[in-house]
């Protein structure tokens, strides 16, 4: 007896040890399996650098209360390795802290390591130095690229392991992603793409994380990697093997905003409908892209023309407040789905027609466990259907959820939650502005970077600044006819983008900028040249590097030419191959005028001498933080384009001078959604308000610096509260 007891004890001990060690994440044809349990998981994307560490606990709490199980984030390589081998994991890039806080809030994590992330993030997450590694070609079967990708992926996985963050170590990470939406690229480039996919999957699996890997939009994801769906709807998606679960890694809650476009929103009735349809069709994992979009602080937003706000019409808005009725309606949806979980994980659904465009999806074990989804796919007509012993009203384009196959606890189109339009109100804070006008650069004898050629912009700046000066001289003889007849010559400048300011002899001669679909631009204008030497100063401005497209790393920025002068006695003079000199960045940047300490290196003017409507002007003011804890934003509508800093931190590029075009009509939630279907803000600046995180402020003496490229009136800037 005693002996047997000991044996039992030993076995229990052994099991405890073995079971604890094998506590793990796997998957089967139905779901991800966590510690032996199938789970229907609701996930939401929150990208750590798009908010501040001080915001994270509240965001996670709202996510948890909103019914999420999982937080999904990309890993942002260029934020973590700004120069080769020099790593950064502090502040907004403190990935470990972010993951630990998610776990503390009771949430799992889906870590999308990439390291290609797209994400409307500068260069798709790649460090700019990577482009200049000899022989490199991104995202294909290329040794230098694969070596760099493997090194960074290994670095992240080792870091997670060292902190015990994978689920089998007691951490919250239940799944990781390698690559990102690579399927379409592979389809384009063929064999080397296929080889790269196989290599990436093998490399990732070899890192032995103990949790599954996924590849999204990758129909041929090699085993055991799970292929997953991204899109506005995924109900008809099937994984590439019948032993893999059906997962939706990007369900777009809205869409991103780019400067020059209207703002997209997605009605919550349609978003909830898409999720319910996915779940009723055997879906097991849904991720909202984004659940909190946040802000593209600094210069992190990608070309082309991605705005500073990354609000995404997400359930939690840019400022960290719930976006109603979206947040509450989805919370109620998640509650209803959770009530169905025992049925959903146990059996496959039986689908029956209830009439034209009407269906029932029933998950029944034959015993007491039963859940039903009643769907009306019609975009126009409501319907009353008979199901079991009951009658149910289904609005157009909606799904009702019956967790016990009887009680309709939720319909996707019946929004009970109050809609509460968030707004910005005055704080009555005032700014006492000072200004400093920066003179345009011009060529001189002692320029250090010169060439008889036009150089690609990023080749010269390495993206250390948005700005590059292209400087040259033009000699005009006194015999030129235009001197007498006043018919000034036309300067033509072809640029690969994104914005160009042309100065002639220190005077602004014009500004041109590209549009989302075509960043290329042409300046063509008569210019006031005088007899003798004229100074041509072209200020080329990048607005982030591209993040998506086949071999986007090879796309150019800047003045590539030709640059010509038309209307001289000789006809057209080609300036493209004459001597050009280059200056990286603005003078104010090299003097660090955006910092608290750097500001003292120039003489600022104020009062009646304050510069207004002048290009290349720096503005500075100090202010006290408004009382309370409400999130804050700046109204920049009186300004044109540039960048804003608060206490040395960049809150991003401002560009209210770019007016949103597009049509903003009424929008019916019913019917297939696209990112041009529902839009607001047409005819207004695409982005007027710019988020200032509370945690960047001191109670008093905060320093606000604005670089204005175009010319604006700072007296119109005001500090607002988001309520």
Ligand X SMILES: *[C@@H]1O[C@H](CO)[C@@H](O)[C@H](O)[C@H]1NC(C)=O
Residues of the shown chain interacting with ligand X in the complex, contacts defined by CB under 6 A: 118-120, 181, 230, 250, 252, 256, 289, 426-428, 455-456, 459, 528, 530, 548
Min separation Cβ 155 and ligand X, Å: 23
Q: What burial letters (b/e) apply to 4-16, b meaning 16+ CB within 10 Å?
A: eeeeeeeeeeeee
Tokens 């001990």 label which residue?
Answer: 13
Tell me how far, at minimum, the Cβ of 684 lies from ligand X, in Å: 23
Q: How far apart are CA 349 and CA 33, in angstroms?
A: 19
CA 444 to chain centre: 41
Structure tokens at 355: 């009439």
Give the phi and the psi of residue 62 in degrees, each rounded to 5: -65, -35
For residues 328 and 702, which CB has a smaller minimum distance to ligand X in the complex? Answer: 702
What residues contact residue 647 under an 8 Å CB cut-off, 6+ apart? 596, 696, 697, 698, 702, 703
Separation CA 512–CA 539 (nearest Å): 11
Query: What are all long-range contacts of 565-573, with beta carbons under 8 Å and residues at least 24 apart?
Result: 565/474, 565/489, 565/490, 565/491, 565/492, 565/527, 566/489, 566/490, 566/492, 567/482, 567/487, 567/488, 567/489, 567/490, 567/526, 568/476, 568/480, 568/482, 568/489, 569/477, 569/479, 569/480, 569/481, 573/474
Run of H or E including 678 = none
Query: With b meaning 16 or more CB within 10 Å and e meaning fewer, what string describes 685-708?
Result: bbbbbbbbbbebbeeeebbbbbbb
Q: CB of residue 182 vs ligand X: minimum separation in angstroms? A: 11
Sign, Cα dihedral of 576, 581, 585, 588:
negative
**Residues known to be catalytic:** 181, 250
CB of 180 to ligand X, least distance (A): 8
Task: List residues bridging with 106 in a β-sheet.
Answer: none
Residue 142 · residue 189 · CB < 8 Å: no
Give the shortest CB-483-to-ligand X separation in angstroms.
Answer: 11
Nearer to ligand X, 582 or 619 (CB): 582
Give least dist CB 120 to ligand X, A.
Answer: 6
For 265-324, give the DSSP string.
---HHHHHHHHHHHHHTT--EEEEEEEE--B--TT-BPTTTB-SB--TT-SB-TTS-B-B
CA pair distance 76, 89, nearest whole angstrom: 10
DSSP 48: G
Among the listed residues 294, 223, 281, 231, the one whose alpha carbon sits nearest the alpha carbon of residue 46: 294
Q: How far is the CB of 112 from ligand X (least distance, A)?
A: 11
How far does CA 558 lie from the centroid of its chain?
24
Phi/psi of residue 625, nearest 5 degrees: -70, 135
718-722 β-sheet, strand order = 424-426, 718-722, 632-635, 689-692
Locate tokens 């109204």: which residue?
635
Whole-number minimum distance, CB 345 to ligand X, in Å?
Answer: 28
Distance between CA atoms of 110 and 287, rounded to whole angstroms? 10
Query: Toward ligand X, which CB reaches closer, 123 or 252?
Result: 252
The least CB distance from residue 409 to ligand X, in Å, is 31
Question: Closest approach of Cβ 632 to ligand X, in Å?
Answer: 11
Q: CB-wise, 200 or 529, nearer to ligand X?
A: 529
Rounded Cα distance between 34 and 56, Å, is 25
Residue 500 tokens, joined:
């160009």
Query: Dihedral sign, CA of 107, 109, 110, 116?
Result: positive
Q: Are 64 and 58 in contact (CB under 8 A)?
A: no
Could you give the residue ranges of the DSSP H alpha helices within 365-442?
Answer: none
Nearest one of 545, 503, 540 to 521, comparing CA atoms? 540
Q: Least Å distance between CB 406 and ligand X? A: 38
* Closer by beta carbon to ligand X, 286 or else 415: 286
């Amino acid at each position: 007896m005693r002996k047997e007891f000991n044996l039992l004890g030993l076995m229990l001990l052994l099991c405890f040890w073995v079971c604890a060690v094998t506590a793990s994440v796997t998957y089967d044809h139905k779901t991800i399996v966590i510690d032996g349990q199938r789970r229907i998981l609701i996930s939401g994307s929150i990208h750590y650098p798009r908010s501040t560490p001080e915001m994270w606990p509240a965001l996670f709490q709202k996510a948890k209360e909103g019914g999420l199980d999982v937080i999904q984030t990309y890993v942002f390589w260029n934020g973590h390795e700004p120069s080769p081998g020099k790593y950064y994991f502090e502040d907004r890039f403190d990935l470990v802290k972010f993951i630990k806080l998610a776990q503390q809030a009771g949430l799992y994590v889906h870590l999308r390591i990439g390291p290609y992330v797209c994400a409307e993030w500068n260069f798709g997450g790649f460090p700019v130095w990577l482009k200049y590694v000899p022989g490199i070609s991104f995202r294909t079967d290329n040794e230098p690229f694969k070596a760099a990708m493997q090194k960074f992926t290994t670095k992240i996985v080792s870091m997670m392991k060292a902190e015990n963050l994978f689920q089998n170590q007691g951490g919250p990470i239940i799944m990781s992603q390698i690559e990102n939406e690579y399927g379409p690229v592979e389809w384009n480039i063929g064999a080397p793409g296929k080889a790269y996919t196989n290599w990436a999957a093998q490399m990732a699996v070899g890192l032995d994380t103990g949790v599954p890997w996924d590849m999204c939009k990758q129909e041929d994801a090699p085993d055991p990697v799970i292929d997953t769906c991204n899109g506005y709807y995924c109900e008809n998606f099937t994984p590439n093997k019948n032993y893999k679960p059906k997962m939706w890694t990007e369900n777009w809650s809205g869409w991103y905003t780019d400067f020059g476009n209207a703002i997209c929103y997605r009605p919550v009735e349609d978003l909830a409908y898409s999720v319910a349809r996915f779940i009723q069709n055997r879906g097991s994992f849904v991720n909202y892209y984004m659940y909190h979009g946040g802000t593209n602080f600094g210069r992190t937003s990608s070309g082309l023309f991605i705005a500073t706000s990354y609000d995404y019409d997400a359930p939690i808005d840019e400022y960290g407040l719930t976006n109603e009725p979206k947040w509450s309606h989805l919370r109620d949806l998640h509650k209803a789905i959770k009530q169905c979980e025992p049925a959903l994980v146990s059996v496959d659904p039986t689908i029956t027609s209830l009439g034209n465009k009407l269906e029932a999806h029933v998950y029944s074990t034959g015993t007491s466990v039963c859940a039903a989804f009643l769907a009306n796919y019609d975009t126009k007509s409501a319907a009353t259907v008979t199901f079991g012993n009951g009658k149910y009203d289904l609005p157009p384009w909606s799904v009702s959820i019956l967790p016990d196959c009887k009680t309709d606890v939720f319909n996707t189109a019946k929004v009970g939650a109050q809609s509460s339009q968030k707004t910005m109100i005055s704080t009555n804070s005032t700014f006492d502005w000072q200004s400093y006008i920066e003179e345009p650069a011009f060529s001189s004898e002692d320029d250090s970077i010169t060439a008889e050629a036009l150089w690609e912009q990023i080749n010269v700046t390495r993206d250390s600044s948005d700005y590059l000066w292209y400087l040259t001289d033009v000699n005009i003889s006194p015999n030129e006819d235009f001197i007498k007849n006043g018919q000034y010559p036309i300067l033509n400048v072809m640029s690969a983008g994104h914005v160009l300011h042309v100065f002639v002899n220190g005077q602004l001669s014009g500004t041109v900028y590209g549009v989302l679909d075509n960043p290329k631009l042409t300046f063509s204008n008569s210019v006031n040249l005088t007899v003798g030497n004229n100074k041509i100063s072209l200020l080329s401005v990048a607005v982030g590097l591209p993040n998506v497209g086949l071999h986007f790393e090879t796309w150019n920025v800047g003045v590539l030419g030709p640059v010509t002068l038309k209307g001289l006695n000789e006809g057209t003079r080609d300036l493209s191959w004459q001597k050009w000199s280059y200056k990286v960045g603005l003078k104010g940047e090299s003097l660090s005028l955006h910092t608290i300490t750097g500001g003292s290196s120039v003489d600022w003017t104020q009062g009646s001498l304050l510069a207004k409507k002048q290009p290349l002007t720096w503005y500075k003011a100090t202010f006290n933080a408004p009382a309370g804890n409400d999130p804050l934003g700046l109204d920049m509508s009186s300004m044109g384009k540039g960048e804003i800093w608060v206490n040395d931190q960049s809150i991003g590029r401002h560009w209210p001078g770019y007016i949103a075009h597009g049509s903003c009509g009424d929008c019916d939630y019913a019917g297939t959604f696209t990112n041009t279907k529902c839009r607001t803000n047409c005819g207004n600046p695409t982005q007027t308000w710019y988020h200032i995180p509370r945690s960047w402020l001191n109670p008093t003496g905060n320093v606000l610096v604005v670089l204005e490229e175009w010319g604006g009136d700072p007296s119109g800037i005001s500090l607002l509260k988001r309520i």
